[in-house]
Amino acid sequence: MSEIMIKVDHVSKKYLLGQIGMTTLHAELQRLDARIRRKEDPTKRIGARDYEKGESFLALDDVSFEVSKGERVGIIGRNGAGKSTLLKLISRITAPTGGTIGLNGRVASMLEVGTGFHGELTGRENIYMNGAILGMTRKEIDAKIEDIIDFSECRQFIDTPVKRYSSGMYVKLAFSVAAHLDSEIMIMDEVLAVGDMEFQKKCLGKMNDVSNAYGRTILYVSHNMNTIRQLCTRCIVLDRGKLIFDGGVEEAIARYTEVGSACFEREIDLSTASRHHVLRKKVLFQKAEIHRGNNVYSSDESLDLTYTLDADGDHSDIRLMMILFSSDGTRIGKTESESFSVHCGANEIPVSVPLEGLADGQYYFEISILQRSRSFGRDKLDCIPNMIPINISNLEVFGFKGDRWWSNYWGHIMLKPIRLLNGHGDS
């Protein structure tokens, strides 16, 4: 077993609830006076919940783990799980309430890009500034400045004050400094989520290189599972301050999505949902029941669910229609069922919606009930927008395991691979 670089031993961090940091000395004195005279606190907001003195919130609760040299550990968890608190403790920004953290090397923390950048200083001066804040000496920076400038792709503007930089250049410059640090431990909080696609790929590649070549230890927090897959060799899952999983990347991601689907409803009540275009209440959605226990699918799976339709009589020639939207509201496509008949009362209709070709991302549906009519072709009997959210997460993009789908550039549909004609393929 190789050398241990980070050892987190039963670490907790407690925050006081209620008025953290108090307000002013005056208010504090008023409070003291009230306590002496046993009156009600005059500074308390009327109707505010009365936090007992000492009532606290454990942002981290007895977390222990070890990281060896050269490991790249991803930390995942929902918002408020304690990821950022953990990084803040390891990077010594604030002290833990209990437990100890042992570090075997210099720590470079990138909880933000461009810490200490000053708009009036030039790019070159800011490299020195930022490098020094991150713990480099002048000599070390002197030795690396050319590499840093090359990596940042900002050579042309390096002697211009950074206040005139575009935000993209700013970020590139800042990341370049951090990527060239000599520290043995690097801590990153989703900073790669910036810059353009090419640069992000370059950053991930650089992180992989330094970790492999120099045995650098990396802690990386992200909500983007694909960058976690690309970068990390091991993963830790936090949930409400507790460490709930420590192990392989894929299992950790599965565990995390499980945690994430805790708030996911399997049964969706559609009877009270807001709907439009209901002319005659002939057939209406009652509820939808998702067969699976979570809403994460890969594109070779299908979304299986059972609709319950409420009909006021027997009707035939009924169809279901589902329009797919991406999370930003773009219309992606439409699918329809074959026609079927319903009888008076509740009808259970199990359906399977193929998700083939969908790229990674979050989607939702607009669901409708249609009936063929003699006058207008077809009537819309019911229509409910913004329903049934699903997540698509593919393990492979065109056969490359762990590659990421860039929906900003590539859209939402993964078209079938291009076929080489006349047998020109490698195989």
Partner 1 sequence: MDKEKQFLTTITSEHKVFDLHLRETFRYRDLIFLFVKRDFTAMYKQTILGPLWAIIQPLLTTLVFTVIFGKLAKLTTADAPGAILLPGFLFYMAGNICWSLFSATVEATSITFLKNRNTMGKVYYPRLVAPISTALSNLISFAIQFVLLIGFLLFFVLTGKAVIRVTPALLMLPLLILQLLILSVGCGVIVSSVTTKYRDLAMLVGFGLQLWQYASPIAYGLELVPESIRGIYLLNPVTPIITTFRWALFGSGYFSLTYYLISWGMTLLIFFIGLILFSRIERTFMDTI
End-to-end alpha carbon distance in the chain: 40
Question: Are the CB atoms for 98 and 12 separated by under 8 Å?
Answer: yes
Nearest to partner 1 of 1, 415 (CB atom): 1
Which residue from 98, 248, 357, 411 is in contact with partner 1, where contact means CB under 8 A? 98
Least distance from C-beta 300 to partner 1, angstroms?
Answer: 42
CA torsion through residues 134, 139, 140, 145, sign: positive
Binding mask 100-139 for partner 1 (x = CB under 8 A): xxxxxx-x-x-xx--xx-x-xx---x--xx--xxxxxxx-
Least distance from C-beta 245 to partner 1, angstroms?
Answer: 22
Nearest to partner 1 of 25, 421 (CB atom): 25
Nearest to partner 1 of 115, 224 (CB atom): 115
Nearest to partner 1 of 57, 410 (CB atom): 57
Least distance from C-beta 411 to partner 1, angstroms?
Answer: 35
Question: Are the CB atoms for 237 and 57 separated by under 8 Å?
Answer: no
Torsion-angle region of 412 (φ positive above 0: left; ψ -120 to 50: alpha; else: beta): alpha
Sheet holding 185-189, edge to edge: 107-110, 185-189, 217-221, 72-76, 234-239, 242-247
CA 365 to CA 251: how far, in whole Å? 29
Question: Are the CB atoms for 320 and 337 separated by under 8 Å?
Answer: yes
Of 151-210, binders to partner 1 (CB under 8 A) are: none
Which residue from 83, 88, 144, 275 is in contact with partner 1, where contact means CB under 8 A? 88
Position 175, amino acid: F
Q: Could you say which DSSP state residue 20 is in?
A: T
Binding mask 217-256 for partner 1 (x = CB under 8 A): ----------------------------------------
Which residue from 17, 28, 143, 313 is in contact with partner 1, where contact means CB under 8 A? 28
Q: How many residues bind partner 1 (CB under 8 A)?
A: 48
- Tokens for 161, please give them: 């004050």
CA 301 to CA 353: how far, in whole Å? 9
Least distance from C-beta 43 to partner 1, angstroms?
Answer: 13
Nearest to partner 1 of 120, 426 (CB atom): 120
Which residue from 43, 97, 257, 337 is in contact with partner 1, where contact means CB under 8 A? 97
Q: Does 36 bind partner 1 (CB under 8 A)?
A: no
Of 318-337, binders to partner 1 (CB under 8 A) are: none
Nearest to partner 1 of 69, 315 (CB atom): 69
Binding mask 7-26 for partner 1 (x = CB under 8 A): x-------x----xxx-xxx
Nearest to partner 1 of 113, 388 (CB atom): 113
Nearest to partner 1 of 119, 345 (CB atom): 119
- Which residues 6+ apart lie within 8 Å of 252 measured at CB? 74, 76, 235, 236, 237, 245, 246
For 334-338, which contacts have Cβ atoms below 8 Å and span 24 or more sequence positions?
336/370
Nearest to partner 1 of 138, 291 (CB atom): 138
CA torsion through residues 327, 291, 352, 368, sign: negative
DSSP string for 280-338: S-SEEEEEEEESSSS-EE-TTSEEEEEEEEEESS-EEEEEEEEEEEETTS-EEEEEEPP
Q: Rounded to the nearest 5°, which phi and psi values hold at 260?
A: -65, -30
Nearest to partner 1 of 95, 279 (CB atom): 95
Least distance from C-beta 178 to partner 1, angstroms?
Answer: 10
CA 338 vs. chain centroid, Å, equals: 37
Least distance from C-beta 357 to partner 1, angstroms?
Answer: 42
Per CB under 8 A, residues contacting partner 1 are 1, 4, 7, 15, 20-22, 24-26, 28, 88-105, 107, 109, 111-112, 115-116, 118, 120-121, 125, 128-129, 132-138
